[in-house]
Amino acid sequence: MSVEFVEKKRWLFLGLPFTFTKYVIKEDMITVDTGVFTKVENDCYMYKVQDVEHTASIWERMVGLGTIVCYTGDTTHPKLLIEHIRNSKAIKEFILKESEEARLKRRTVNMLDIGSGEVGDIDDLQ
């Protein structure tokens, strides 16, 4: 069973969804649809998401909204903003979990400094 979140960007004033931005978050992809006259659809695969951040200003908290920042390896949106949405904490956790699973599936997990010792361990370093 696949899980999918569909959220609309909302105004901070009363949290109403009168914008023309829609976010679709699936297990393998994040899609951002924007525009009225010129529709733009932008996709980012989950395995490209490297880090996720959740922010909520005082105004967002007052109307039950939040913003998610996804730092990605995508060329069009290295910093993907999912702005002023409901259920932002649950969606952030979903993105974290699914992006990790997608990286493991594709074997693209970044392993930084694994097995690196201190500089003193290297004999040839002068």
- Give per-residue pLDDT as tens, 54-69: 999 998 898 899 999 9
Q: Which tops the pLDDT comparison, 119 or 52?
A: 52
Task: Give the CATH number for residue 50.
Answer: 2.30.29.30
User: 17 is in which domain, residue-wise?
Assistant: 4-106
**Is pLDDT of 1 > 60?**
no
Order of strands, sheet of 49-55, starting from the edge strand that comes earlier in the sequence: 49-55, 66-72, 79-85
Task: Give the β-pairing of 49-55 and 4-8.
Answer: unpaired
In a domain, 119, yes or no: no
Phi and psi, residue 77, nearest 5°: -140, 85
In a domain, 115, yes or no: no
Q: For the chain, how are helix, strand and coil distributed in percent, rounded to 5?
A: 25, 35, 40
In a domain, 86, yes or no: yes
- DSSP conformational letter for 29: E
In a domain, 9, yes or no: yes
Cα 49 from chain centroid (whole Å): 6
Instruction: Look up the pTM and report it.
Output: 0.77
In a domain, 39, yes or no: yes
In a domain, 124, yes or no: no
Q: What is the number of domains present in the chain?
A: 1
In a domain, 43, yes or no: yes
Amino acid letter, residue 120: G
pLDDT digits (tens, 9 = 90+) for 13-34: 666 677 889 999 999 999 999 9
Closest by CA position to 70, among listed 36, 39, 37, 45: 45
In a domain, 74, yes or no: yes
Query: What average pLDDT does this structure show over 45-62?
Result: 93
Closest by CA position to 28, among listed 39, 13, 15, 43: 43
For the ranges 1-15, 18-32, 69-83, which has the lowest average pLDDT?
1-15
Q: What is the pLDDT of residue 36?
A: 85
The separation between the first and the last C-alpha atoms of the chain, rounded to the nearest angstrom, is: 58
Query: What average pLDDT does this structure show over 72-86?
Result: 90
Q: What is the pLDDT of residue 96?
A: 95
